[in-house]
A = this chain, B = another copy of it.
Amino acid sequence: MKTVRVGFLGCGNIGCGVYGVLKEQADRIAQDEGLRFEVGPILVRDKAKKRKSDIPSALLTERPEDVTDNPDIDVVAEFMGGVEPAASLIIRALRGGRTVVTANKAALATRWNDILAAAKEGGAGLLFEASVGGAIPVIRSLTDSLQANEIRSISGIVNGTTNYILTRMADAGLSYAQALQEAQQLGYAEPDPAADVEGYDPVYKLSILATLAFRQHVPPEAIAREGITAVTASDIAAAREAGCAVKLLATAKRAGGRILAAVRPERVPVSHPLCGVKDAFNAVFIDGSACGEMMLYGRGAGDRPTASAVVSDLIRAGHGGLRLPPVHGEAEVCGGLPADGIDDE
């Protein structure tokens, strides 16, 4: 039995979810994987704050270096969200040789080169399955299952909030404003919904997916972006007339030596597997030179689906022998796709 000591940076919904799943499955993970996880210290902003989880207060700290610089810690799991201070703490932990597991697409996409350089410098592992698609094993599939393929294109519904809004507009005839309000009431959308509805969140995720798929860095600022705020009930009706649904697609494809990459509302034919992805579900559609067409579908958010991905990364970190994803320099990115939909070539 190997003991793996994990420090947390942040302990909101996801951190509490990971803590809960690790505790609930501890005996099974020990039996099946030969690993025992010990959690702590856990960085929080305010030790006195009431938490959903039964985390002992002795594990909490308000000093980041108790986690990032702690010689007793094998793995640092980051759940703070946002670019800073998360990115700086990830970089600090990696430089110190600690493997980092993160769900933070914004930090990862925005600071990709700095984070990868820190991992190389520290000889540390970096795992981020939960950063895209929640529980769906899309990162692992790109890095560990599709290596025999030249990926031709990757196209995803990777933002549950906007997919919920578009689904409700189509299925219940709601206006954009009504559907947004409903999503906010259900907790799917934030009070300030810009990160989702303006497409920033899926741009971060597409940056990560495209970088892994094409093995060249596709920075978020090179990706064309159009949100769903201008989608109207009549757009959706017209799409339906044409045998399509409107989906916020995050798509990247090869075109000669360049990568075309955009997040924008697109018409998806009902015959396409992405069309049936409803509500807050996510899916990623991949076309590879050997595998052909493939789709991975599941819950893209929520504390337990995200914990499913994070814990699989922690187990992988516990087994050791990690390799950083192969990425060779900067891609030449054209932030835009031809306008004729997802089936164009």
In the complex, which of the residues B137, B291, B308 contacts A298, with contact meaning CB atoms closer than 8 Å? Answer: B291
Q: Which residue of B lies closest to A306 (CB)?
A: B290
Q: What is the oligomeric copy number?
A: 2
In the complex, what's the smallest C-beta–C-beta distance from A322 to chain B, in angstroms?
10
CB distance from A99 to the nearest CB of B (A): 15
The answer on a CB contact under 8 Å between A328 and B31 is yes
Q: Does A311 contact B (CB under 8 A)?
A: yes
Q: Contacting chain B: which of A72-80, A142-150, A247-255? A: A142-150
Q: Are A298 and B299 in contact (CB under 8 A)?
A: no
What residues of chain A have their CB less than 8 Å away from a CB belonging to chain B? 21-22, 25, 28-29, 31-33, 129, 135-137, 140-141, 144-150, 215, 273, 276, 288-299, 302, 304-305, 307-309, 311-312, 315-316, 319-321, 323, 326, 328
Q: Which residue of B lies closest to A315 (CB)?
A: B147
A129 to B147, CA, bound (A): 13
In the complex, how many angstroms separate the beta carbon of A31 from the nearest chain B beta carbon? 7
B residues within 8 A CB of A294? 135-136, 296-299
Answer whether A25 and B296 are a contact pair too, CB < 8 Å, given A137-B137, A290-B311, A308-B291.
no
Q: Could you tell me the distance between the alpha carbons of A22 and B149 in the complex, rounded to whole angstroms?
A: 10
Once the chains are docked, how many angstroms separate the CA of A293 from the CA of B304? Answer: 12
List the B side residues contacting A140 at CB < 8 Å: 137, 140-141, 144-145
Q: State which of B29, B292, B321, B323 has its C-beta within 8 Å of the C-beta of A135.
A: B292
Known contacts A273-B297, A297-B294, A32 near B321 by CB under 8 Å: no
Would you list the 9 A-B pairs with minimal beta carbon distance, nearest first? A294-B298, A135-B291, A148-B311, A137-B145, A32-B326, A290-B308, A291-B308, A295-B297, A321-B321
